[in-house]
Amino acid sequence: MLTVNRLDLADAQVLIAGAAARAGEIGIPMCIAITDESGNLLAFERMDGGKVTSITVAQDKAFTAAAARKATHEYNQACVPGNLVFGIHTEVGGRLSVVGGGLPVMVDGEVVGGIGLSSGTPQQDMDCAQAGIDHFLSQRS
Protein backbone atom coordinates (compact mmCIF):
# COMPACT_ATOMS: atom_id res chain seq x y z
CA MET A 1 0.00 0.00 0.00
CA LEU A 2 1.08 3.55 -0.77
CA THR A 3 0.33 6.75 1.08
CA VAL A 4 0.19 9.78 -1.15
CA ASN A 5 0.40 13.45 -0.25
CA ARG A 6 -1.89 15.69 -2.27
CA LEU A 7 -3.04 19.28 -2.40
CA ASP A 8 -6.48 19.88 -0.97
CA LEU A 9 -8.98 22.42 -2.28
CA ALA A 10 -7.88 25.06 0.22
CA ASP A 11 -4.29 24.68 -1.01
CA ALA A 12 -5.51 25.01 -4.58
CA GLN A 13 -7.28 28.25 -3.73
CA VAL A 14 -4.09 29.65 -2.19
CA LEU A 15 -2.15 28.75 -5.32
CA ILE A 16 -4.77 30.44 -7.51
CA ALA A 17 -4.79 33.54 -5.30
CA GLY A 18 -1.04 33.93 -5.59
CA ALA A 19 -1.05 33.47 -9.35
CA ALA A 20 -4.04 35.77 -9.87
CA ALA A 21 -2.44 38.51 -7.78
CA ARG A 22 0.65 38.43 -9.99
CA ALA A 23 -1.49 38.32 -13.15
CA GLY A 24 -3.27 41.43 -11.89
CA GLU A 25 0.05 43.18 -11.31
CA ILE A 26 1.24 42.57 -14.87
CA GLY A 27 -2.22 43.30 -16.28
CA ILE A 28 -2.83 39.99 -18.04
CA PRO A 29 -6.10 38.20 -17.25
CA MET A 30 -5.20 34.52 -17.00
CA CYS A 31 -6.73 31.06 -16.97
CA ILE A 32 -5.39 29.28 -13.89
CA ALA A 33 -5.66 25.53 -13.30
CA ILE A 34 -4.60 23.46 -10.30
CA THR A 35 -4.42 19.67 -10.36
CA ASP A 36 -3.66 17.07 -7.74
CA GLU A 37 -0.54 14.89 -7.87
CA SER A 38 -2.27 12.54 -10.35
CA GLY A 39 -3.02 15.37 -12.77
CA ASN A 40 -6.76 15.50 -12.02
CA LEU A 41 -8.31 18.97 -11.81
CA LEU A 42 -8.84 20.46 -8.37
CA ALA A 43 -9.74 24.05 -9.18
CA PHE A 44 -9.86 26.41 -12.13
CA GLU A 45 -10.51 30.10 -12.66
CA ARG A 46 -10.76 32.14 -15.83
CA MET A 47 -10.11 35.75 -14.93
CA ASP A 48 -12.36 38.21 -16.76
CA GLY A 49 -10.72 38.55 -20.16
CA GLY A 50 -8.85 35.22 -20.08
CA LYS A 51 -8.78 33.45 -23.44
CA VAL A 52 -11.13 30.62 -24.38
CA THR A 53 -8.31 28.52 -25.83
CA SER A 54 -6.45 28.94 -22.53
CA ILE A 55 -9.18 27.08 -20.64
CA THR A 56 -7.82 23.85 -22.05
CA VAL A 57 -4.19 24.89 -22.33
CA ALA A 58 -3.94 25.89 -18.66
CA GLN A 59 -5.44 22.57 -17.61
CA ASP A 60 -3.10 20.62 -19.89
CA LYS A 61 -0.08 22.45 -18.50
CA ALA A 62 -1.07 21.70 -14.90
CA PHE A 63 -1.86 18.09 -15.82
CA THR A 64 1.52 17.64 -17.48
CA ALA A 65 3.50 19.27 -14.70
CA ALA A 66 1.89 17.09 -12.03
CA ALA A 67 1.44 13.82 -13.87
CA ALA A 68 4.86 13.86 -15.54
CA ARG A 69 6.46 15.59 -12.53
CA LYS A 70 8.22 18.06 -14.82
CA ALA A 71 7.83 21.73 -15.69
CA THR A 72 6.37 22.16 -19.17
CA HIS A 73 9.19 24.53 -20.15
CA GLU A 74 11.70 21.76 -19.37
CA TYR A 75 9.89 19.50 -21.81
CA ASN A 76 9.94 22.39 -24.28
CA GLN A 77 13.74 22.59 -24.18
CA ALA A 78 14.07 18.90 -24.99
CA CYS A 79 11.24 18.71 -27.49
CA VAL A 80 13.25 19.70 -30.55
CA PRO A 81 13.59 17.69 -33.76
CA GLY A 82 16.40 15.16 -33.50
CA ASN A 83 16.10 14.83 -29.73
CA LEU A 84 14.57 11.51 -28.71
CA VAL A 85 12.01 13.39 -26.62
CA PHE A 86 10.63 15.09 -29.71
CA GLY A 87 7.01 14.09 -30.33
CA ILE A 88 6.07 14.04 -26.67
CA HIS A 89 3.94 17.15 -27.32
CA THR A 90 1.33 15.14 -29.20
CA GLU A 91 1.08 12.29 -26.68
CA VAL A 92 -1.73 11.47 -24.25
CA GLY A 93 -4.30 12.59 -26.79
CA GLY A 94 -2.53 15.92 -27.10
CA ARG A 95 -2.92 16.68 -23.39
CA LEU A 96 0.82 16.55 -22.73
CA SER A 97 1.78 20.22 -23.00
CA VAL A 98 5.32 21.43 -23.68
CA VAL A 99 4.39 25.11 -23.71
CA GLY A 100 5.91 27.09 -20.85
CA GLY A 101 3.57 27.84 -17.94
CA GLY A 102 3.07 24.54 -16.13
CA LEU A 103 4.95 23.80 -12.90
CA PRO A 104 4.83 20.90 -10.47
CA VAL A 105 3.94 21.90 -6.92
CA MET A 106 6.47 20.36 -4.55
CA VAL A 107 6.42 19.92 -0.79
CA ASP A 108 9.31 18.22 1.01
CA GLY A 109 10.81 17.11 -2.29
CA GLU A 110 7.63 15.44 -3.45
CA VAL A 111 5.19 16.44 -6.19
CA VAL A 112 1.78 17.06 -4.57
CA GLY A 113 0.08 18.81 -7.50
CA GLY A 114 0.48 21.00 -10.55
CA ILE A 115 -0.26 24.57 -11.57
CA GLY A 116 -0.85 25.74 -15.13
CA LEU A 117 -1.32 29.25 -16.44
CA SER A 118 -2.30 30.43 -19.90
CA SER A 119 -3.30 33.64 -21.71
CA GLY A 120 -0.05 35.60 -21.65
CA THR A 121 3.31 34.88 -23.24
CA PRO A 122 4.91 31.66 -21.93
CA GLN A 123 7.25 33.82 -19.85
CA GLN A 124 4.30 35.65 -18.30
CA ASP A 125 2.51 32.36 -17.71
CA MET A 126 5.62 30.91 -16.02
CA ASP A 127 6.05 34.04 -13.91
CA CYS A 128 2.49 33.85 -12.61
CA ALA A 129 2.68 30.09 -12.04
CA GLN A 130 5.80 30.61 -9.94
CA ALA A 131 4.07 33.42 -8.03
CA GLY A 132 1.30 30.98 -7.16
CA ILE A 133 3.81 28.48 -5.80
CA ASP A 134 5.75 31.16 -3.90
CA HIS A 135 2.54 32.37 -2.25
CA PHE A 136 1.53 28.82 -1.37
CA LEU A 137 4.89 28.00 0.19
CA SER A 138 5.00 31.29 2.13
CA GLN A 139 1.62 30.45 3.65
CA ARG A 140 2.92 27.09 4.84
CA SER A 141 6.06 28.37 6.63
The contact set with its own copies (CB under 8 A) reads: 1-9, 11-12, 36, 38-48, 51-57, 60, 64, 66-69, 73, 75-77, 79-82, 84-94, 96-100, 107, 112, 121-123, 126
Min dist. Cβ of residue 74 to its own copies (A): 11
- List Cβ neighbours of 3 (8 Å cut-off, separation of 6 or more): none
Which C-beta is closer to its own copies: that of 17 or that of 134?
17
CB of 55 to its own copies, least distance (A): 5
Q: Other CB atoms closer than 10 Å to residue 93's CB: what's the count?
A: 7
Minimum CB separation from its own copies for residue 103, in Å? 13
User: What are the backbone angles phi and psi of residue 112, rounded to the nearest 5°?
Assistant: -115, 0
Cβ-based nearer residue to its own copies, 21 or 86: 86
In angstroms, the CA 138 to CA 141 distance is 5
Q: Which stretches of the chain are assigned E, i.e. beta strand?
A: 31-36, 41-46, 102-107, 110-118
